[in-house]
Amino acid sequence: MPVLWLFLIVLAVAILGYLLGRARALSAAPEGRRGLHSLPVYYGANVALKVLVPALGILILWLLVQPFVIDRAVSGTIPDSDIAEGASRGLVMSEVARVADGVKAAVGAGTMPAAMAADPSPDLEAVTQALKDAGQVVTGDVTQTVFAAAQKYNAMAAQGGLYMTILVLLAAAAGCVMGLHEAKPDFRARNVVEKGIRALLIAAASIAILTTVGIVLSLIFNTVEFFRLYPASQFFFSLEWAPSFSGRGGASELGILPLLWGTLYISFVALAVAVPIGLFAAIYLSEYASPRLRAVAKPLLEVLAGIPTIVYGLFALLTVGPLLVSVFGDGGYLGVSWQGGGRAVMTAGLVMGIMLIPFVSSLSDDIINAVPQAMRDGSYGLGATQSETIKQVVLPAALPGIVGAILLAASRAIGETMIVVLGAGAAARLSLNPFEAMTTVTAKIVSQLTGDSDFASPEALVAFALGMSLFVITLGLNVVALAIVRKYREQYD
């Protein structure tokens, strides 16, 4: 039975249980609603919970575990002699899984008779042809071993599916009966339901956290794998980034420093653009602008934050780059030839700065607004002008929050990819000239993983080490930001 149907049946049982539970609770109370501990809906919800939680729990667990169990069992039946030279057991297993799926689909599509699918020693050419007719991807000829394994695979999957269906339905029914049995006036259904809701909230929160942990773990494992293939000292201290994809092994120079330098340089330019402009915009919006103007201007500014970064990248490539070249390039207005091409640190930095303006301004604006009016009144009452008040009272009071906003913007700048790819070029270079093309950690992660990459080579695995380094840097920034905000936060009430 397809999982969707099973799920719908469980859901139907839950709804039925809800209605029955409510009705039963009502009829069990001799003096009506007042005699019940909880509102009738809670008795219904209790039944529904008792149906859904165990049944769906079993369903999900089974679906997660079954592939592993089958994989292991089937993989054990393949003799070592049938594994081709250079291939691994995993490779054969993935072919088995593909054939198993293919056979199922081919039988469903009618190109393969059911008898052939069950035949222990069929005509393998016919099988391959039938699979191809059904539109399945077949890499080579299906061998006898693979076909037998696929048959076992399908058989086990079908058996597992049957057991799962029975177990889930039993659990649903048992839950329903138990919930209905509990629907008595003195049962504290409300407390039970509220506990259930709390568990739901905890589950939602832990999914977010567990995902983060999972991401970090996958980064760590691959990073460790990379350092096994490539010396860490060279990764961290080499001044050169020159991966070679043709001559695999030994020929690549994978130093992070040029990339890190590019990242920090571009981020620095971006922040040098975004922080003053964003901060001044925030001060104007929160202190000087009339409410009417603010209501229009603030959302407009925030629209900048909604533009996809690839569009900024195009802007950098097509507009800002050529513009900069026409000023700083050979034969430009300034008569200097600092800039060779449109792609440069300056191009990417300027555009990224524009992208960051709304982050700085919008957050700072909220923070400045949160400074209590009493603070301003106190300053005005001493004969301070508006700008003195802002400079000496409002900004110091808002400073921790503003620093937090700036560090947040910095994290964004360091993690930005598309603008760099299009605006700063792809040359990894250690240079002080902001009009030269450079590249960043993120841009290189993309280029190392796109295309046909072999995940066992250091050239591809380096992406994880780069990602890990970036993660550590931004994490450090965020920790510092939080610490600053916490340390200097003034308590207003």
Partner 1 sequence: MNDMRIIERGTLVNDIKISAKGVQVYYADNHAIKDVDVEIEDKTVTAFIGPSGCGKSTFLRCLNRMNDTIDICRVEGHIAIDGQDIYDPQVDPVQLRAKVGMVFQKPNPFPKSIYDNIAYGPRIHGLARNKAELDEIVEKSLRRGAIWDEVKDRLDAPGTSLSGGQQQRLCIARAVATEPEVLLMDEPCSALDPIATSQVEELIDELRQSFSVVIVTHSMQQAARVSQKTAFFHLGNLVEYGETGKIFTNPEDSRTESYITGRIG
- CA end-to-end span of the chain: 60
The yes or no reply on residue 384 touching partner 1 (CB under 8 A) is yes
Rg (CA), the chain: 32
Q: In terms of CB distance, is 345 or 398 closer to partner 1?
A: 398
Output the smallest distance, CB 392 to partner 1, in A: 7
Output the smallest distance, CB 278 to partner 1, in A: 22
Candidate segments 227-235, 242-250, 385-393, 442-450, binder of partner 1 by CB under 8 A? 385-393
Candidate segments 89-97, 106-114, 242-250, 387-395, binder of partner 1 by CB under 8 A? 387-395
Candidate segments 43-51, 95-103, 392-400, 438-446, binder of partner 1 by CB under 8 A? 392-400
Among 82, 133, 330, 377, binds partner 1 (CB under 8 A): 377
Output the smallest distance, CB 290 to partner 1, in A: 8
The yes or no reply on residue 376 touching partner 1 (CB under 8 A) is yes
Q: In terms of CB distance, is 337 or 386 closer to partner 1?
A: 386
The yes or no reply on residue 272 touching partner 1 (CB under 8 A) is no
Q: In the window 98-137, what residues touch partner 1 (CB under 8 A)?
A: none
The yes or no reply on residue 206 touching partner 1 (CB under 8 A) is no
Contacts with partner 1: how many residues (CB under 8 A)?
21
Output the smallest distance, CB 381 to partner 1, in A: 4
The yes or no reply on residue 484 touching partner 1 (CB under 8 A) is no
Contact 51, 13 (CB under 8 A): yes
Output the smallest distance, CB 371 to partner 1, in A: 9
The yes or no reply on residue 150 touching partner 1 (CB under 8 A) is no
Q: In terms of CB distance, is 227 or 488 closer to partner 1?
A: 488
Report the sign of the C-alpha dihedral through residues 413, 414, 420, 421, in that order: negative
Output the smallest distance, CB 393 to partner 1, in A: 5
Output the smallest distance, CB 373 to partner 1, in A: 9
The yes or no reply on residue 289 touching partner 1 (CB under 8 A) is no
Q: In terms of CB distance, is 206 or 392 closer to partner 1?
A: 392
The yes or no reply on residue 283 touching partner 1 (CB under 8 A) is no
The yes or no reply on residue 388 touching partner 1 (CB under 8 A) is yes
Q: In terms of CB distance, is 246 or 373 closer to partner 1?
A: 373
Output the smallest distance, CB 291 to partner 1, in A: 8
Contact 424, 438 (CB under 8 A): yes
Residues that bind partner 1 (CB under 8 A): 290, 372, 374-385, 388, 392-393, 396-397, 490-491
